[in-house]
Structure 1
Amino acid sequence: MALTARSTLAAALVAGLAALPARADEGATVTRHGISAFGALKYPEGFAHFDYVNPDAPKGGTMSFRGTGASRTFDSLNPFILAGEPAQGLERIYDTLMVRAHDEPDAVYGLLAESVTYPPDRSWVVYRLRAGARFADGDPVEAEDVVFTLETLQAQGAPAYRIRLKDVAGVTALSPSEVRVEFAEGAATRDLIADVGQVPILPAHYYDTVAFDRSTLTPPLGSGPYVVQEVDAGRSITYCRNPDYWAAELPVNVGKNNFDCYRYEYFADNTGAFEAFKTGAYLFHEEFTSALWATNYGFPAIERGWILREVIGDDRPSGAQGFWMNLRRPQFADPRVREAIAMMFNFEWSNRTLFYGLYQRTDSFWENSGMQAEGLPQGDELALLEEFRDALPDSVFTAPAVTPRVLSPERNLDRRALREAGALLDAAGWTTDDRGLRRNAAGETLRVEFVSDSPAFERIVLPYIENLTRLGVDAVQTQVDAAQMQQRQEEFDYDVTIARFVLPLSPSIELRTLFGSESAEAPGSNNLAGIADPVVDALIERVLAAPDRATLETRVRALDRVLRAKHLWVPNWYKGSHWIAYWDVFGKPAEKPPYDRGTDYWWWDQAKYEALQAEGALR
């Protein structure tokens, strides 16, 4: 079969990948209690607990949050398929083979699995299950459950699971307590043992009589520390401790799972949720809106000290939030069009006028980290990019990594930006007609529809639309309800959508779901921009194959630089911290883990609760 130009380029790029080592001899193996992508583990075999927990934390009470999700409600307790909107917190009812340590960037330790055995090239792994591992109905967790889980998620799971497990070539139960996972020949295997190890394990016997591929409100069966206690469909869900939980005393669980119950309360809008929080309807609130953080926290419960307000740091990348342009749309085919549209968003004016100066501008997908591309490419990063020079724009090599223009904070419309953006559209063939509208040679108008389900974004989008209108773009905002928003994102039915992704400290397989060609047309995937580029695919595979952290960071910087040069989004803003408020009824460790918000290690303080009750603060 003849190769197209695109497939020829893809084949050449794949052929240029660094050669992977030959698959290791079966006898050259190591058995360990955990695994890290690079180097040694912090915690030795037989460790007592993670350093960031209080091993003597008391048990009791209820932690309650506002429920979140694309639809601000839920209609399913099946989080593994695309159908339905799953309830928040379902991960609490499932155990995984391994769990992450939040004071190491990429280490995992055994939970269901007491050990992993693997060769130096990590081309396969044997997970050895712990004796005594049980599902909530008392049945043992066995190798056949792992086989069922991985094979079922590969075949019927949501796109994120199918892509995550694409390099699993085979799963075999060697015995009731040992399962071997083979990885595909030529796969980048550095992270696969940990990635597979963090997949929730499902009970095969449960699905003998329950359809896996159907959404349901019937509480499912897991092996985790909590079970579904109460469901008020679309309004709230409560998980309570399984008193017979098999792994309560394991080192990875010491100081964790301290609350008797977790409850998630759902609200139709932000205003209703915040008013409910002020009355104690739920106890922990994270704020995501700068105007509210700056102006709405002077109510009596704050003034009396009943509710505490904190800013807590976060050492992870600060999140890729922006207006994502749908490159599947023909009006966005030319990168000059995308650059012009991005240029008209005035962050400096928005930050001063709307955000109380609380944010900084995002320019990188790995903002606030060592993986952020800066300046001109140099050294190893330049050498890597040189391999793809013929398929990249010259600007990748001759200009600093793309950074949004700094515009005037004095007025929303920056006339210099207006002129530069206009010149870009003229060059791309979108010229103005006698009414000032941009049209192409076919007479089609340059239309851009922003789709959102968040009223809070209207104050940000409308000034942006005003600027685009002055440029001659037929820009509109469409406000939809949460269910419509979910459906439109799953079907890629938008010109521009708003989203935020928090990328991990050690980028891995999630890159394929965000930026890889295989996810570009997969309904429900997180590839919102529809990127399908063989250079990006090849760089992703290089990241997955990085042999050490220094190389990983170099390769991510190259990927970041190439993605930014595509002008596929309008980057928004970041703050590098969490804004939280909570009723003063909790205890918490002296230090939070550097790579997590840390609330899973808080506990209930009965004395504080009774003191607030005595003051009439909480019922």
Structure 2
Amino acid sequence: MTFYFSESGNRELPLIVGQIPIFSEAFWKDKDFAKSDLIQPLGSGPYKVASFDAGKRITYQRVNDYWAKDLPVNKGAHNFDFMVYDYYRDASVAFEAFKSGAFDYRLESSAKRWATGYSADLIQSGKIITSKISDKTPQGMQGFWFNLRKDKFKDKNVREAITLLFDFEWANKTLFYDSYTRINSFYSGSELATENIISEAEKEILIPYKAQLSNRVFQPFSLPKTNADGNVRQQMRQAVELFSKAGYQLKDSKMQDKNGQQFEFEFLLYSKDFERIVHPFRQNLQRIGIKTSIRLVDVSQFINRLNEFDFDLVSLRKGQSISPVMSNLAIGDVKARWKLAHQIGRSVLSSH
């Protein structure tokens, strides 16, 4: 297949097009493409679906006469005859299954589990081999994401106030075993990362639009920092001031709008493990009169609610590349990715 582009000079456009899956028109012409079903689509890759048990397991079988197996880019790749993926609804159950030998490979994303879950006897016996691998690529980010379609989050003072009350230093020391480093950029680890001092090249681009931009664009950027002792009184005072600028007042231990309604929102989570991180955050918010709740759902419902923008605040880990537009296309299906990239505000917490 050949693509022709009407514009020139956009080196990223071919990369974006290369991410788009190509489907057989003949295969789909008598089927409902929009319907959710278990039809195995026609593919042209190195593996095909051999069998599956919906929601539990899928087995891929190597295609022996794969058309591209001898291309230089594929040399040394696709070496397994079969690959089996098991699915678990609960991360704790999945970890216990791994320790019992139910499956072979696991990518660990929990600092607590990495520090305490892999017992010495399992490692010394050779039943489990652990390794830290530095890939030297942009780090990506994990954080809380605001739904800016909700009126309550449209004022940047509100978002900044809420961000102030997440005590990263305390959480890193107490909950994460000092495993994380906080990042100041969506492109941390790459040449696109935010620098403390704005460069001359950036100034050249931005100065003509200075009247339309906030002065903070031209100032060094940093996220709030605490002493890791759990004392956030200074941040609380700043947060109350920011809420005041947004039209709220702290009255009767409640952060109220002009109609006397308390400011409240819901954390939408799909992993019970993350509740231990959210609860201290909620306590800090409660101390300035903000009411919060947690809604724990399964992954399918979580994705559906993301796609429908039926949430207040979610925690997401988002991968990153050295190509900004490509990175924005890395969250979900194309429609959802586009919406998320343009409609959700971001408040960065931490990265590996």
TM-score w.r.t. the length of structure 2 is 0.93
Q: Which has the larger radius of gyration?
A: 1
- Residue 254 of structure 1: how far off its partner (Å): 0.8
| Secondary structure, counterpart of 1:230 in structure 2 | strand
- Residue 280 of structure 1: how far off its partner (Å): 2.0
Between stretches 204-213 and 280-289, larger displacement belongs to 204-213
Structure with a larger share of its residues in helix: 2
Q: What per-residue deviation string (whole Å, max 9, x for no partner) do you get for residues 428-454 of structure 1?
A: 211012x21111223232112111111
Q: Amino acid of the residue matched to residue 298 of structure 2?
A: D
Q: What per-residue deviation string (whole Å, max 9, x for no partner) do you get for residues 306-352 of structure 1?
A: 32100000211111211011111111121111111100000000011
Q: Which runs of 5+ in 2 are unaligned?
A: none
1:232 and 2:53 correspond: yes
| Partners of 2:142 and 2:350 within 8 A in 1 | yes
Give the 5 Å matches for 1:356-435: 356-397=177-218, 399-401=219-221, 403-411=222-230, 413-433=231-251, 435=252
Give the 5 Å matches for 1:212-291: 212-291=33-112
Could you tell me which of 337, 340, 349 is aligned with 1:525? 337
Could you tell me which of 295, 304, 308 is aligned with 2:125? 304
Q: In structure 1, what is the Cα distance between the partners aligned to 2:315 and 2:194? A: 23
2:282 corresponding residue in structure 1: 465
| Partners of 1:325 and 1:529 within 8 A in 2 | no
| Secondary structure, counterpart of 2:316 in structure 1 | strand
**Measured at CA, do residues 351 and 243 of structure 1 come closer, stay the same or move farther in structure 2, by a change above 3 Å?**
same
**Measured at CA, do residues 382 and 357 of structure 1 come closer, stay the same or move farther in structure 2, by a change above 3 Å?**
same
**Measured at CA, do residues 509 and 279 of structure 1 come closer, stay the same or move farther in structure 2, by a change above 3 Å?**
closer
Q: In structure 1, what is the Cα distance between the partners aligned to 2:220 and 2:169? A: 21
Q: In structure 2, what is the Cα distance between the partners aligned to 1:396 and 1:298? A: 47
| Partners of 2:328 and 2:338 within 8 A in 1 | no
Q: In structure 1, what is the Cα distance between the partners aligned to 2:245 and 2:68? A: 64
Q: Amino acid of the residue matched to residue 183 of structure 1?
A: F
| Partners of 1:453 and 1:479 within 8 A in 2 | yes
2:254 corresponding residue in structure 1: 437
| Partners of 2:89 and 2:298 within 8 A in 1 | no
Between stretches 233-242 and 474-483, larger displacement belongs to 474-483
2:270 corresponding residue in structure 1: 453
Between stretches 222-231 and 523-532, larger displacement belongs to 523-532
2:30 corresponding residue in structure 1: 209
**Measured at CA, do residues 513 and 231 of structure 1 come closer, stay the same or move farther in structure 2, by a change above 3 Å?**
closer
TM-score w.r.t. the length of structure 1 is 0.54
1:570 corresponding residue in structure 2: 347
Q: Amino acid of the residue matched to residue 220 of structure 2?
A: P
**Measured at CA, do residues 292 and 445 of structure 1 come closer, stay the same or move farther in structure 2, by a change above 3 Å?**
same
| Partners of 2:157 and 2:246 within 8 A in 1 | yes
| Secondary structure, counterpart of 1:369 in structure 2 | coil
2:323 corresponding residue in structure 1: 506
Q: In structure 2, what is the Cα distance between the partners aligned to 1:356 and 1:509? A: 32
- Residue 512 of structure 1: how far off its partner (Å): 7.5
Could you tell me which of 138, 142, 145 is aligned with 1:317? 138
- Residue 527 of structure 1: how far off its partner (Å): 4.1
Q: What per-residue deviation string (whole Å, max 9, x for no partner) do you get for residues 358-415 of structure 1?
A: 1111221011222111223231111112233232111212x212x211112112x411
Q: In structure 2, what is the Cα distance between the partners aligned to 1:425 and 1:408? A: 24
Q: In structure 2, what is the Cα distance between the partners aligned to 1:209 and 1:390? A: 56
- Residue 506 of structure 1: how far off its partner (Å): 2.7
Q: In structure 1, what is the Cα distance between the partners aligned to 2:339 and 2:181? A: 25
Q: What per-residue deviation string (whole Å, max 9, x for no partner) do you get for residues 469-489 of structure 1?
A: 101112222222222211211
| Partners of 1:230 and 1:237 within 8 A in 2 | yes
| Secondary structure, counterpart of 1:432 in structure 2 | strand
Aligned length: 351
Q: Amino acid of the residue matched to residue 335 of structure 1?
A: K
**Measured at CA, do residues 573 and 510 of structure 1 come closer, stay the same or move farther in structure 2, by a change above 3 Å?**
closer
Give the 5 Å matches for 1:165-180: 179=2
Between stretches 344-353 and 306-315, larger displacement belongs to 306-315
**Measured at CA, do residues 432 and 354 of structure 1 come closer, stay the same or move farther in structure 2, by a change above 3 Å?**
same
Q: Amino acid of the residue matched to residue 182 of structure 1?
A: Y
Q: In structure 2, what is the Cα distance between the partners aligned to 1:468 and 1:526? A: 31
| Secondary structure, counterpart of 1:294 in structure 2 | helix
1:478 corresponding residue in structure 2: 295
Q: In structure 1, what is the Cα distance between the partners aligned to 2:168 and 2:128? A: 32
| Secondary structure, counterpart of 1:231 in structure 2 | strand
Give the 5 Å matches for 1:100-249: 146=1, 179=2, 181-185=3-7, 189-249=10-70
| Secondary structure, counterpart of 1:418 in structure 2 | helix
Q: In structure 2, what is the Cα distance between the partners aligned to 1:189 and 1:468? A: 45
| Partners of 2:319 and 2:330 within 8 A in 1 | no
Q: In structure 2, what is the Cα distance between the partners aligned to 1:301 and 1:513? A: 35
Q: Which runs of 5+ in 1 are unaligned?
A: 1-145, 147-178, 533-567, 576-619
Percent identity, aligned pairs only?
Answer: 37
| Partners of 1:462 and 1:477 within 8 A in 2 | no
Q: What per-residue deviation string (whole Å, max 9, x for no partner) do you get for residues 172-193 of structure 1?
A: xxxxxxx3x23245x7621222
**Measured at CA, do residues 414 and 446 of structure 1 come closer, stay the same or move farther in structure 2, by a change above 3 Å?**
same
**Measured at CA, do residues 286 and 207 of structure 1 come closer, stay the same or move farther in structure 2, by a change above 3 Å?**
same
| Secondary structure, counterpart of 2:142 in structure 1 | strand
| Partners of 1:236 and 1:265 within 8 A in 2 | yes
Q: Amino acid of the residue matched to residue 334 of structure 1?
A: D
Q: Amino acid of the residue matched to residue 199 of structure 1?
A: I
- Residue 526 of structure 1: how far off its partner (Å): 5.2
